[in-house]
Structure 1
């Protein structure tokens, strides 16, 4: 009669062990699922880390720990990496950590190379000195152009003998940490060539411009003369008519460019009378090179200027940046006097 009791006890023990094993398995499964999918605790906006060339998976995991990721064992991270196909396929670059990310998100980002992309903006109207200074101030770029003068820079960009002014299209360019400043310049140079080709191929008939380079030079003057997009075709129209009539352009931005670093913020009568290759008060035609970087709108304005009969323009003087356009010199003098009056009302006598 004792044997059935022993068998019942064994069954009970086995049942308890099965329940325990099932509980452990459920706990392990639940832990595993939570490790993969639950938001990693403690992450703050702006956290991140860098996967460098040659980093092992354990080295990257150490960087994650340093960045505040303490969830999961090394083994769990390795198993998940193999499951996701990320082991041995981590892309070099900078990665962001953000609240709400899971371990699966972190590994998937590294597997797929979803690196942080930064922005560098080339501003319309910048000259080459301003562009190079801005690149030098960007700490996330590698500064491979720092030791190159302008001529060596253009040779490196496969444009030997080309003046660097105006050869880069103002846009916002994305880059990753450690990219070279030369990469941004190459992309901006290629973008400028495409925009210039497009503008020149759709140019108006009978322009007094012989080459696409002439169009680039004129566009740079238009770019510096107004920050009002809708005024650019009208400004270009004034300069085109002057070129057609053989009048000098007489535009202050070219004089200022020719003064270089001697320009102190003011342009005086003697500056207008001092001859340089860029002084359009003393020389006929277009200056020898662009004077600034130009946007696509300025290129379109230079190649498709607005019709009209205005030959002069002057700022309104009310702070809007807009201009008054005049057909005759007498009308222009009236507009200039009005500009001076408004200027003195705003700022007092010069």
Structure 2
């Protein structure tokens, strides 16, 4: 360093983290010129010039263009405006790369062809309106001629994917799978067959009725979440808090058939919860042994993918259910035992 606080180009490069050739390039580009040039042609830089060189290096590492940096230096824009605009560009690039990664990962898993690559790219590039039309077309087809209570298909239609503006790779992969499924005529036929078989008889029509569906998807769901929260808090099933939560759920369930929550009704519900895990296993085993696709392969698969796309996929609770149902049964029986 000279007595005047000036640094030769080598020191300026070292202090700013640039190469000597980069410092020369920025000078020739008119961005950061040397503070002075000696009679012998040596370029000297003061502390302010070195700080500007370091700032330019930072912006270049963020992929900021030279023209934008020049506009900033010349006062035609502010740093905030420049960084805001550049952030928007980077975020768009990130979304694009995330979509490409989802397509590539799916293609690698499926050993996809060029045609499938083009299809998947179209699927992830769909607009919100195009996704809405695809789902509507799926439910229009599935629900056509389906002998179920009025309004049931419309309720099913409300459970639809809403891909966020900034989806994760997992959400994009789920959307690709879902979009391919709902476009598949075979999947549509299987979902229609499952719904017809499940909801066309007397019991099924009761389950598909408006009050029952409202309970499952709204009030009953909220009440069961309260029960699960109390259980996970470590409460005894005989505690006042557990009794209150389970009783609210049981009263709402009994009200579906205009039945007061009498002691014998609580007992019957307790039996039902104790038997439920076994019944669920039997149903799963029957579906696995049968040739026709079951719930998990049809409507259940649709729902699980929608949950992932929407970012609210439920936790795996299959291992929890037997213990939880036993806990609920004990809570239902606690008043009968005088506890």
Per the shorter chain, which TM-score range?
Answer: under 0.3
Question: Could you tell me the TM-score, scaled by structure 1's length?
Answer: 0.27
Q: Could you say which structure has the higher strand fraction? A: 1
- Give the alignment's TM-score, normalised by structure 2: 0.28
Higher normalized helix content (fraction of residues): 2
